[in-house]
Structures are given as structure tokens and as C-alpha cells.
Amino acid sequence: MVGPAVQEACPKRMEYGPCGGVELDGRCEVAVHPCVFLDEPTVRWHGAPDASGGADLDDRIPSARRMRDLLATRPVVVADFPARALDRGSLERCADVLAGRVDAVLAGDSGTSRVQFPPAYRARLIQDRGVAVWAGFNNRDRNRVALEGELAALADAGVAAVHCVTGDHTLTGDRPDAMPVFDLDSTRTAALARAAGHLVSVGESPTTPPVDRRAARLAEKLRAGADVCFIDHCGGVEPVRRFIGDVRGEGADPAFVVCVPMVVDAGSAALLRSFTSLVLPDGFLDRILHARDPRAAGLDAVTELCEALLAVDGVSGVDLSGGPSQGEPGAEESFAEAMGSVADRLGLVA
């Protein structure tokens, strides 16, 4: 168990740190000092007994059971949901573009739009258009009572899965005036989500310090109740292969969904570059941005990377990750169409 001094020194008050926002040089996401967890041993899960793997735990949410069954059958294609925040029309248009082309959309946080529709309401709007929702769920904005209520609402809405993240600090993004909550962190929220009957995913950043303990940290999240790991952008096929091997070396073997950088123009490249500790395959952006037709080159490059990652032993799916150019009319729907085009090329979704 981490000492109270370490937890109080963390701007997110994490118990199961470090977060995925650690800079590549080890600095804290929002402070000038190094992450306080860098010199601490991996924090072991000391909550309720291991909840993962129970066949009946997600039977309360049929959509969660369907997604678990799908993950066991074939690789899945997930797409970061690109719609404008607080805009029902944009949300519905993007959902219509992606309906029937991806297995689910990851509807989560956005640094450029911290104020979003509540997760369960947004999920219901998207699912009404025929698209399964993998609901992003952060700890920045809610205390544990509000988190428990939202998890109950997401269960009632029938989401496919819940993606638990500690969340970026309020000092990043477009609302630094908001007070951060961080009553819990992603590990403890994973346990809550699992207890509520959800299929649970968490993220991990293989190239973010402390690199040598990231696999062990993921293993503790899995013991808390997570089933799926989204592998953050870490440089391509070989880093993903190594990380999966490291996790298996810890005695864990979740489903792995790999984040693939979705780039079709300078605007979407700029948004990706804003991601903390982003690591892309060598030459990936140059190949796209220096092409005569960046959109066509982007679709080719993203599809090829998806295919290469899906061939890695242990990879259970890909997440088309990123977002559209900011401020361009119709950019969200155009970006959704690009995602749908990659999914079409992969040919996995019936």
C-alpha cells in the first residue's frame, strides 16, 4: 500500500499510481517535479478479492456479454467517437456514419471539450442510432457517490463496456478553472465497474516511465476487475509485442485492444501530437503529411498498421484513435467517414 505522503504529493491523489500522463522524462503531468511514484514499488491490489473471470458477473448487462463473446470470437474494431461535445446533431450524424461499420465507439474524454454530456445520456443517444458504446469513464470530475450512480446509469443504458481512466488533470485541457476531484483512480474504479456488472477496460502506456513496471501495474488493474487493456500509442508492432509478453510474464492475459493513430490531415496529426507521451512508428506522420493526397495516404497507412498489429499474438482488436481538425465545418463527419473506411478495409465487422 502506498504511503499517505506519496498519495498527497500526487496532484491526482492516486493510490494505485502512476497514471498514464507521466512525461517521457519522468516529470509529472502538471507539476515540475518527477512523478512521485517513480521510485515506489508497484502498488498491489488490496481491495476486494479478484472479481475478473466470473462468468455470471456481466450477465446483468446483455450488451456486455455480447461484447465479451465477440472478443472471444474475432478481433474487434473500435473507433474514438469524433462528434462535437454538447451537439446532439453532430453526435447523431457521426453515429449514422459509423453504424454497422465498427463494433463499438469509444465515447470518452476530450482535452478540447472537457464539458460533455453525461456518459449514460451520451451512450443512450449514440446507441439509439444503432452503434454500441464503449463508455469512457474518468475520475477527474466526480466523487465516488457520483461515480457509482453513473456506473448504474451506464448499466441501465446497456453499454458494451466501460473504459476506466484516472483522467487528465483539470490543469490540462480547456477548463483549468474547474476543481479536480480524483476521489478514486482507475484501478479502484475498475473494481466498482466490475461489481456493477460491466465489461471493464483500462489503459496502459508501455513507453511511459516507469517502463519496467507498466506490465506489473496492469496486472494489478486486472486483479481489481478489468478484463481488457487498451494499449496506448507506443511506437508500433514490436513495442506492442514486447508489452504483451511482459504482461503474460506477470501471469495475466487480458484481451488487448491496440490504439492506432488515425491521421488523415494536418489537423488530425496536430491533435494526436497533443496526447501526453505519444510515441508513433518511425516515419508514420511524414509518410502521410508529405503525400500528394494526405487523406488517401493516411487511410493506407492506418489500415496497414492495423493489419500488422492484428497479426500479433494476443491482440484482440484495434482502436482507431484520434480526432478531427478543430474548427472546420463538417470535420467530425468527415473524420468518422475516414474511420469507417479503415474499418471497411479491415473487413472484420459483419
Has residue 298 been placed in a domain?
A: yes
**Does 226 map to a domain?**
yes
Whole-number Cα distances in Å, 112 to 40, 78, 278: 33, 21, 17
**pLDDT at 285 exceeding the cut of 90:** yes
In a domain, 17, yes or no: no
pLDDT band with cut points at 50, 70 and 90 for residue 58 = low
Cβ atoms of 135 and 123 within 8 Å: the answer is: yes
Q: What is the DSSP string of 102-142?
A: SSEEEE---TT------HHHHHHHHHTTT--EEEEEESSS-
Domain assignment present for residue 15? The answer is: no
CATH number for 189: 3.20.20.220
pTM of the model: 0.95
Cell of 164: 476506466
Total domains in the fold of the chain: 1
Query: Could you tell me which residue, 274 or 155, shows the higher pLDDT?
Result: 155
Counting every residue written for the chain, the total comes to 350
Q: Note whether 79 and 319 are within 8 A (CB).
A: yes
Instruction: From residue 282, give the alpha-carbon distance in Å to each of 71, 110, 218, 234.
Output: 30, 26, 26, 11
User: Is 205 domain-assigned?
Assistant: yes
Q: Give the tens place of pLDDT for each residue, 208-232.
A: 999 999 999 999 999 999 999 999 9
Quote the pLDDT of residue 273: 84
Q: Scanning the structure block, which residue is given the C-alpha cell 494536418?
A: 266
pLDDT score of 97:
98
Distance separating alpha carbons of residues 50 and 222, to the nearest angstrom:
8
Domain assignment of residue 107, given as a range? 57-346
Residue 49 lies in a domain: no
Q: Is residue 10 part of a domain?
A: no
- Which of 163, 199, 152 is CA-nearest to residue 51? 199
Asked if residue 97 lies in contact with residue 131, where contact means CB atoms within 8 angstroms, the answer is no
How large a percentage of the chain has pLDDT more than 70?
97
| Closest by CA position to 118, among listed 107, 128, 127 | 107
Q: Give percent of the chain with pLDDT exceeding 90.
A: 87
CA–CA gap between residue 226 and residue 216 (Å, rounded):
14
CA triplet 85, 316, 278: central angle to 5 degrees? 55
| 38 part of a folded domain | no
Return the pLDDT at 27. 94
- Over residues 180-188, mean pLDDT: 96
Express each pLDDT in 1-53 by its tens digit. Answer: 678 889 999 999 999 999 999 999 999 999 999 999 999 999 999 987 554 44
Q: Given this model, what pLDDT does residue 53 score?
A: 43
